[in-house]
């Protein structure tokens, strides 16, 4: 069965970052996201250069094998461009980018992936993460040394083991070919979406029947609702039967940094690369912040992260215990203070048939009572009028002992004489 993709790409700077270092592309057969790293100076340029180079292979291929070779070759080519650019421009040293992309050939999808951007597939009511993050924390999860829940809050979760850029000549790129069919929905996203947005919310949008444009906008909107601490870029690709009539017009669309031109400035005899795009006042006032980092894969660094994890878990347990102790102590303090308050109160009731002064309050909490007999008088309750007897059954409150004794004298005066 012949198929066709309906796609939409969206990108947002988020609520914290000073620039958008993400790039996204939704083309004819090629779709990808790239998340730049290297701080304010290089992340946006890295993802833009990578995206603009890789987008050149967006064409029709005779076979999935040919598509796979073209995709891997151009990824290595983009990596070389980034390395050469960093060498020619020292201010960009260390820049790099993730890349997660898919190239459709017939009913096959060729995946190319490096870094911690992700590709998901929504099919038959289930969402599956197709790619695996190339992070040290994910390696610890894969080896069972920490849990996925611990990975979500780990302080080193953004440290990458593999990226494209000023790192190595031929990086290890994950690739595979999968079958796709009408009804499939593919999501390609930077960690600005997969990090802050809960999985159940993201999955709900992916499994809904809304179109790719609305789904992409909703996903970005959810990232903003959850604080958007990072740039967020998504590309949603819906697969339909080729004969399905739609209003969608295929095109090649860049979003994020790659939608702007990379230019070279001459400054004091130096050639400086920059992204040519207008900045508004809010962007100029933002604080640059880039928690992503790259460290070559090593057992030593894995052990360092594992030690940090154990230390973090240990301190979290201690904090939880201290919190419980503090709450119990606070509750005990409140109970003691509440009981002390009740013992400053008095009320008049009946005990052994006589008018009695009680210290405390009449109310009880289960088996717990908050009063005791203070003084039983010789006034027989049955010698009082029906009105006073009814009031005594409900109890007559007094703010202090003096008022309680005044009420007793009043009841003494209200005794009905025997005829």
Same domain? 74 vs 151: yes
| Residues 85, 151 share a domain | yes
In this structure, are residues 136 and 156 in contact, taking their beta carbons and an 8 Å threshold?
yes
Q: Kindly provide the residue ranges of all beta strands, DSSP E only, lying in 366-419, ordered along the sequence.
A: 368-380, 396-398
Last residue within a domain, chosen from 263, 280, 297? 297
Position 391 in a domain: yes
Question: 178 and 40 in one domain?
Answer: yes
Q: How distant, in Å, are the alpha carbons of 15, 194, 361, 366, 385 from that of 140? A: 30, 19, 59, 51, 82
Does any domain span residue 340? Answer: no
- Give the pLDDT confidence score for residue 278 in this predicted structure: 45
> In terms of domains, do 277 and 364 share one?
no
Number of domains in the chain: 2
**In this predicted structure, what is the pLDDT of residue 281?**
34
Same structural domain, 362 and 247: no
**End-of-domain residue from the set 297, 314, 336:** 297
Q: Is residue 321 part of a domain?
A: no
- CATH number reported for the structural domain that contains residue 74 in this entry: 3.60.40.10
307 inside domain: no
Shared domain for 273 and 384, answered yes or no, is no
Secondary structure (3-state) at 372: strand
Per-residue confidence (pLDDT) for residue 106, from 0 to 100: 95
pLDDT of residue 158: 74
On whether residue 30 sits in a domain, the answer given is: yes
Q: Do both 164 and 272 map to the same domain?
A: yes
pLDDT recorded at residue 284: 34
Task: Please report the pLDDT score of residue 202 as a whole number.
Answer: 97
Same domain flag for 273 and 366: no
Note whether residue 392 is domain-resident: yes
- Report the alpha-carbon distance of residue 193 to residue 294 in Å, rounded: 20
**Structural domain boundaries, residue 73:** 3-297
pLDDT of 292 reads 57
In a domain, 18, yes or no: yes
**Tokens 């850029």 appear where?**
165
What pLDDT score was predicted for residue 234?
Answer: 98
Please report whether residue 13 resides in a domain.
yes
Q: CATH number for the domain including 365? A: 3.30.70
Mark whether 239 and 112 lie in a shared domain: yes
Closest CA to 97 of 194, 24, 11: 24
Q: Are residues 281 and 132 in the same domain?
A: yes
Whole-angstrom distance, CA of residue 239 vs CA of residue 219: 19
Both 376 and 270 in a single domain? no
| Of the residues 232, 266, 297, the one at which a domain ends | 297
Edge-to-edge strand order for the sheet containing 396-398? 368-380, 354-365, 346-351, 396-398
Encode the chain (419 residues) as per-residue pLDDT tens digits. 699 999 999 999 999 988 899 999 999 999 999 999 875 458 899 999 999 999 999 999 999 999 999 999 999 999 999 999 988 888 888 899 999 999 999 999 999 999 999 999 999 999 999 999 999 888 888 888 888 877 777 777 778 889 999 876 778 999 999 999 999 999 999 999 998 999 999 999 999 999 999 999 999 999 999 999 999 999 999 999 999 999 999 999 999 999 987 765 555 555 556 665 544 433 433 444 445 566 666 667 767 767 776 676 677 678 888 888 898 899 889 888 888 888 888 999 999 999 999 998 888 777 878 888 999 999 998 888 888 888 988 889 988 999 999 998 988 888 877 65
117 and 251 fall within a common domain: yes
């Amino acid at each position: 069965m012949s198929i066709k993709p309906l796609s939409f790409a969206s990108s947002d700077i988020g609520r914290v970052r000073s620039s958008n270092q993400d790039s996204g592309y939704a083309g004819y057969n090629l779709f990808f996201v790239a998340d730049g790293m290297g701080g304010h100076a290089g992340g946006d340029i890295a993802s833009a250069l990578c995206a603009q180079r890789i987008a050149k292979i967006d064409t029709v291929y005779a076979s999935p094998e040919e598509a796979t070779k073209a995709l891997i070759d151009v990824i290595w080519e983009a990596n070389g461009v980034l390395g050469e650019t960093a060498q020619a421009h020292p201010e960009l040293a260390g820049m790099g980018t993730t890349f997660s992309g898919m190239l459709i050939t017939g009913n096959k999808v060729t995946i190319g992936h490096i870094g911690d951007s992700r590709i998901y597939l929504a099919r038959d009511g289930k969402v599956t993460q197709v790619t695996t993050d190339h992070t040290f924390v994910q390696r610890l999860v894969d080896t069972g040394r920490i849990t996925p829940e611990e990975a979500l809050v780990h302080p080193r979760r953004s440290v990458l083991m593999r990226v494209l850029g000023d790192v190595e000549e031929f990086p290890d790129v994950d690739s595979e070919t999968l079958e796709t069919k009408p009804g499939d929905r593919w999501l390609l996203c930077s960690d600005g979406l997969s990090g802050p947005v809960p999985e159940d919310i993201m999955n709900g949008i992916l499994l809904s029947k809304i179109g790719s444009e609305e789904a992409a906008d909703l996903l970005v909107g959810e990232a903003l609702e959850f604080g958007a601490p990072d740039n967020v870029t998504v590309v949603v690709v819906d697969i339909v039967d080729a004969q399905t009539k739609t209003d969608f017009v295929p095109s090649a669309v860049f979003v994020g940094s790659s939608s702007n031109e990379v230019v070279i400035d001459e400054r004091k005899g130096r050639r400086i690369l920059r992204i040519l795009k207008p900045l508004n006042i809010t962007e100029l006032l933002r604080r640059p912040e880039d928690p992503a980092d790259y460290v070559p894969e090593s057992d030593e660094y894995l052990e360092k992260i594992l030690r940090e994890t154990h230390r973090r878990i240990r301190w979290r347990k201690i904090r939880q215990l201290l919190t419980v102790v503090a709450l119990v102590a606070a509750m005990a303090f409140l109970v003691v203070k509440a009981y002390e308050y009740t013992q400053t109160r008095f009320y008049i009731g009946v005990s052994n048939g006589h008018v009695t002064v009680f210290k405390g309050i009449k109310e009880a909490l289960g088996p717990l009572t908050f009063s005791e007999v203070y003084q039983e008088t010789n006034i027989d309750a049955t010698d009082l009028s029906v009105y006073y007897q009814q009031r005594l059954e409900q109890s007559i409150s007094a703010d202090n002992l003096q008022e309680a004794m005044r009420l007793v004298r009043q009841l003494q005066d209200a005794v009905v004489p025997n005829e």
